[in-house]
Every structure is written in C-alpha cells, then in structure tokens.
Amino acid sequence: MRHAKAEPHGDSDAERELAQRGYADALEAGRWLADRDFAPDAALVSSARRTATTWLAVAEGGSFEVEATLSESLYLAGPETALDLVRETSYDVRSLIVVGHNPTAAYLAQLLDDGTGDVAAGNEMATGFPTSALARFEVPGSWRDLDLASARLVAFHVGRA
C-alpha cells in the first residue's frame, strides 16, 4: 500500500502529516480490506509519520488489532530492498500489509505480479499508483521464497472516502 494523501510540507519529509482527506481515504481502505475478509497478522510500515498514520487509519477502518513494525529501512528503500524486508517476515505470518512510499510501492507491486491474477486489477494498477492505493497479492510458499513475478494479483483498490 502507498501511504494516504499527506500535507505538502513538514519539519522534514519524514515528519509530514496526513491531510484530512488522506486520513479519511485510509479509513476507507481499511474498510475495503475488511469487507473482503483480509485481516493482517503483521504490518510492516515505513517509519515516516504519514505512513504510520496511514496504518493507524487503515487499522481503525478495518478494525485490525495489529501493531505495526515501523521500519526506517522501508522509508529509504527501493523496490529490491523493500522485497528483502518482506522476505524477513516470520513464517507464522499468513497475511502481511506493507505501507510505504512511491515510487517503491508501485514498482514493487508491478515486479511481484506474476501475470496470472485479476486482469482488470492489473490494468488498473498499470495506470498509476496514487495515494491510498493498495495491491493485494496471494503469495504461494514462504515469505523468504518471494521473488519477482512470483505473486498473484487478486485485487487493486484506491481508497477514496
């Protein structure tokens, strides 16, 4: 997931707050996930304020009770580093949500897609990855084995309140 709409300025990039619209959009994204029976066992979230707050709103919208793992490495990550961080996920985690930034979120989603999933979702994802966008994948096997073109895209959604 890409973080929700943020304020354009802050004391630093990492300290930028969510805009009011962003919070509402993240709430809606959480409701959308819950309505489709997605409940994360873990949340890997960039350490930036806007991503942490996005996760809090998603969790509130979906009634998820998962505490986020905040990652400075994810804040600075490109797609390959982000994939490495996902590969470090514990074996007992069956469903993971990752909340990060663009262009990394969009690139990683495109790189993971094996092309066998929902064609409409793939087409929609290819047109852009705006704020509050999320791509939902099915991952066969363990997180450690996740690789390029190894996950099936099952849905794409842009949270909008």
Give tens-digit pLDDT for 91-134.
999 999 999 999 999 999 999 999 999 999 999 999 999 999 99
CATH topology of domain 13-158: Rossmann fold (3.40.50)
- For 89-127, the three-class secondary structure string (H helix, E strand, C coil) is CCCCCCCEEEEECCCHHHHHHHHHECCCCCHHHHHHHHC
* Whether the Cβ atoms of residue 14 and residue 110 lie closer than 8 Å to each other: no
Peptide bond into 130 cis (omega under 30): no
pTM beyond 0.75: yes
Distant-in-sequence contacts of 12-18, Cβ < 8 A, 24+ apart: 13/48, 14/47, 14/48, 14/49, 14/75, 15/48, 15/49, 16/48, 16/49, 16/50, 17/49, 17/50, 17/53, 18/49, 18/50, 18/53, 18/54, 18/57
CA torsion sign for 122, 126, 128, 134 is positive
How many CA atoms does the CB half-sphere of 132 hold within 13 Å?
28
Confidence (pLDDT) at 59: 98
Domain boundaries defined on the chain? 13-158
Predicted pLDDT at 111: 96
pLDDT tens, the chain, 161 aa long: 999 999 999 999 999 999 999 999 999 999 999 999 999 999 999 999 999 999 999 999 999 999 999 999 999 999 999 999 999 999 999 999 999 999 999 999 999 999 999 999 999 999 999 999 999 999 999 999 999 999 999 999 999 97
